[in-house]
A and B are shown apart, each in its own frame.
Chain A
Amino acid sequence: MTRLLLAVLVALSGVSAPTVAAAQQPIKIGIVTFLSGPAAGPFGVPARNAAELMAETLNAGTVPAPYATKGLGGNPIELIIIDEAGGPQKQVAEFRNLAQRVDLIVGYISSGDCLAIAPVAEELKKLTVLFDCGTPRIFEDASYKYVFRTGPHATMDNTSAALYVLERNPNVKSIAGINQNYAWGQDSWVDFEAAMKALKPGIEVKTSQMTKLFAGQFGAEISTLLSSGADVVHSSFWGGDLEGLVLQGAPRGLFKNHLVVLSAGEPAINRLGAKIPDGTIIGARGPFGPFAPDTALSRWFRGVFQERYAVAPNYASYKMAQGILGVKTAYEKAKAGAASPNQDQIIAAFEKLSFEGPGGMVHMSLGKGHQAVMDVAVGTARTVGGELRIVDVKRYPADRVNPPEGVKSEAWIKSGFKK
Chain B
Amino acid sequence: MSSILAILFDGVVYSSWLFMMAAGLTLIYGVMRILNIAHGSLYALGAYAAATIAGAWLAAGYAPVGSYAMLALAAVLVGVVVGPLVERGLLRRMYGQDEVVLLLVTYAAFLMLEDAIKLVWGVESKLLTEPYSLPGNFHIGALAYPRYNLVLITVAIVTGLALAWALYRTRQGKLLLAVIHDREISAAMGINVTRVYLVTFTLGSMLAGLGGALTAPTIAVSPGIGVEVIVLSFAVVVVGGLGSLGGAALGALLVGVVRSFAVRYWPEAELFTIYGVMALVLIARPKGLFSAPEARKI
Q: Which residue of A lies closest to B259 (CB)?
A: A220
Is the Cβ of A216 less than 8 Å from the Cβ of B223?
Answer: no
The reply to whether the CB of B118 lies closer than 8 angstroms to some CB of chain A is: yes
The reply to whether the CB of A64 lies closer than 8 angstroms to some CB of chain B is: no
List the A side residues contacting B146 at CB < 8 Å: 251-252
Q: How far is the CA of A247 from the CA of B6 in the complex (A)?
A: 20
Is the Cβ of A40 less than 8 Å from the Cβ of B223?
Answer: yes
Is the Cβ of A247 less than 8 Å from the Cβ of B228?
Answer: no
Stretch in B61-69, B82-90, B260-268, B290-298 touching the partner: B260-268
For chain B, residues 218 to 253, give those with C-beta under 8 angstroms from any C-beta of chain A: 218-225, 227-229
The reply to whether the CB of B127 lies closer than 8 angstroms to some CB of chain A is: yes
The reply to whether the CB of B7 lies closer than 8 angstroms to some CB of chain A is: yes
Q: Which residue of B lies closest to A247 (CB)?
A: B129
The reply to whether the CB of A45 lies closer than 8 angstroms to some CB of chain B is: yes
- Closest-CB distance, A89 to chain B (whole angstroms): 17
- Closest-CB distance, A208 to chain B (whole angstroms): 7
Is the Cβ of B268 less than 8 Å from the Cβ of A210?
Answer: yes
Instruction: Choose one: B215, B222, B229; the contact of A41 (CB below 8 Å).
Output: B222
The reply to whether the CB of B98 lies closer than 8 angstroms to some CB of chain A is: no
Q: How far is the CA of A38 from the CA of B221 in the complex (A)?
A: 10
The A contact surface, by secondary structure, is helix
For chain A, residues 225 to 256, give those with C-beta under 8 angstroms from any C-beta of chain B: 226-227, 239-240, 242-244, 247-248, 251-253
- Do A220 and B132 form a contact, CB below 8 Å, given A40-B123, A210-B267, A251-B144? no
- Closest-CB distance, B167 to chain A (whole angstroms): 28
Q: How far is the CA of A227 from the CA of B129 in the complex (A)?
A: 24
List the B side residues contacting A169 at CB < 8 Å: none
Q: How large is the interface on B (under 10, 10 to 19, 20 to 34, 35 or more residues)?
A: 35 or more
Is the Cβ of B137 less than 8 Å from the Cβ of A252?
Answer: yes
Is the Cβ of B143 less than 8 Å from the Cβ of A226?
Answer: yes
The reply to whether the CB of B57 lies closer than 8 angstroms to some CB of chain A is: no
List the A side residues contacting B124 at CB < 8 Å: 41, 45, 271
Stretch in B11-19, B26-34, B276-284 touching the partner: B11-19
Is the Cβ of B215 less than 8 Å from the Cβ of A216?
Answer: yes
Instruction: Choose one: A36, A223, A242, A244; the contact of B123 (CB below 8 Å).
Output: A36
Q: How far is the CA of A272 from the CA of B219 in the complex (A)?
A: 12
Q: Which residue of A lies closest to B217 (CB)?
A: A247
Instruction: Choose one: A36, A38, A244, A252; the contact of B143 (CB below 8 Å).
Output: A252
Is the Cβ of A271 less than 8 Å from the Cβ of B143?
Answer: no
Q: How far is the CA of A253 from the CA of B270 in the complex (A)?
A: 24
Q: How far is the CA of A110 from the CA of B141 in the complex (A)?
A: 41
Q: How far is the CA of A29 from the CA of B222 in the complex (A)?
A: 29
Is the Cβ of B267 less than 8 Å from the Cβ of A271?
Answer: no
Is the Cβ of B228 less than 8 Å from the Cβ of A221?
Answer: no
Instruction: Choose one: B3, B7, B225, B267; the contact of A208 (CB below 8 Å).
Output: B267
List the B side residues contacting A271 at CB < 8 Å: 124-125, 127, 220
Is the Cβ of A247 less than 8 Å from the Cβ of B223?
Answer: no
The reply to whether the CB of A400 lies closer than 8 angstroms to some CB of chain B is: no
Is the Cβ of A221 less than 8 Å from the Cβ of B223?
Answer: no
State the total of A-B contacts with C-beta under 8 angstroms.
Answer: 125
List the A side residues contacting B223 at CB < 8 Å: 36-38, 40-41
- Closest-CB distance, B212 to chain A (whole angstroms): 11
Is the Cβ of B259 less than 8 Å from the Cβ of A37?
Answer: no
Bits for B127-145, please: 1 = Cβ < 8 Å to A, else 0.
1010011000100001111
The reply to whether the CB of B271 lies closer than 8 angstroms to some CB of chain A is: yes
The reply to whether the CB of B149 lies closer than 8 angstroms to some CB of chain A is: yes
Is the Cβ of B228 less than 8 Å from the Cβ of A215?
Answer: yes
Is the Cβ of A219 less than 8 Å from the Cβ of B225?
Answer: no
The reply to whether the CB of A211 lies closer than 8 angstroms to some CB of chain B is: yes
Is the Cβ of A251 less than 8 Å from the Cβ of B137?
Answer: yes
List the B side residues contacting A19 at CB < 8 Å: none
Q: How far is the CA of A272 from the CA of B129 in the complex (A)?
A: 11
Q: Which residue of A lies closest to B10 (CB)?
A: A220
Is the Cβ of B270 less than 8 Å from the Cβ of A211?
Answer: yes
Is the Cβ of A247 less than 8 Å from the Cβ of B263?
Answer: no
Q: How far is the CA of A288 from the CA of B134 in the complex (A)?
A: 35
The reply to whether the CB of A57 lies closer than 8 angstroms to some CB of chain B is: no
List the A side residues contacting B132 at CB < 8 Å: 247, 251
- Closest-CB distance, B50 to chain A (whole angstroms): 14
Q: How far is the CA of A35 from the CA of B10 in the complex (A)?
A: 35
Q: Which residue of B lies closest to A241 (CB)?
A: B220
Q: How far is the CA of A271 from the CA of B219 in the complex (A)?
A: 13
- Closest-CB distance, A274 to chain B (whole angstroms): 12
Is the Cβ of A38 less than 8 Å from the Cβ of B10?
Answer: no
For chain B, residues 95 to 138, give those with C-beta under 8 angstroms from any C-beta of chain A: 115, 118, 122-125, 127, 129, 132-133, 137
- Closest-CB distance, A71 to chain B (whole angstroms): 29
Instruction: Choose one: B122, B137, B229, B264; the contact of A220 (CB below 8 Å).
Output: B264
- Closest-CB distance, B19 to chain A (whole angstroms): 13
Is the Cβ of A214 less than 8 Å from the Cβ of B264?
Answer: no
Is the Cβ of A220 less than 8 Å from the Cβ of B143?
Answer: no
- Do A221 and B222 form a contact, CB below 8 Å, given A216-B215, A243-B125, A247-B127? no
Q: How far is the CA of A136 from the CA of B222 in the complex (A)?
A: 29
Instruction: Choose one: A42, A210, A216; the contact of B225 (CB below 8 Å).
Output: A216
Q: How far is the CA of A98 from the CA of B127 in the complex (A)?
A: 36
Identify which of B122, B220, B228, B264 gathers the most chain A CB atoms within 10 Å of its CB: B220
For chain A, residues 11 to 33, give those with C-beta under 8 angstroms from any C-beta of chain B: none
Identify which of A36, A38, A208, A248 gathers the most chain B CB atoms within 10 Å of its CB: A38
List the A side residues contacting B6 at CB < 8 Å: 223, 227
List the A side residues contacting B127 at CB < 8 Å: 243, 247, 271-272, 275
- Closest-CB distance, B137 to chain A (whole angstroms): 6
List the A side residues contacting B227 at CB < 8 Å: 214
Beyond contacts A214-B225, A219-B13, A240-B125: 15 other A-B pairs, Cβ-Cβ < 8 A, are A40-B223, A41-B123, A209-B263, A210-B267, A210-B270, A212-B271, A214-B228, A219-B149, A220-B10, A220-B260, A223-B6, A242-B220, A252-B144, A271-B127, A275-B127
Residue pairs across A and B with Cβ atoms less than 8 A apart, 18 shown, are A36-B115, A36-B223, A38-B223, A38-B224, A41-B124, A41-B125, A45-B124, A214-B225, A216-B215, A220-B259, A220-B260, A221-B263, A226-B144, A239-B222, A244-B219, A251-B137, A252-B137, A275-B127
5 closest residue pairs by CB, A with B: A243-B220, A40-B123, A240-B222, A220-B10, A220-B263
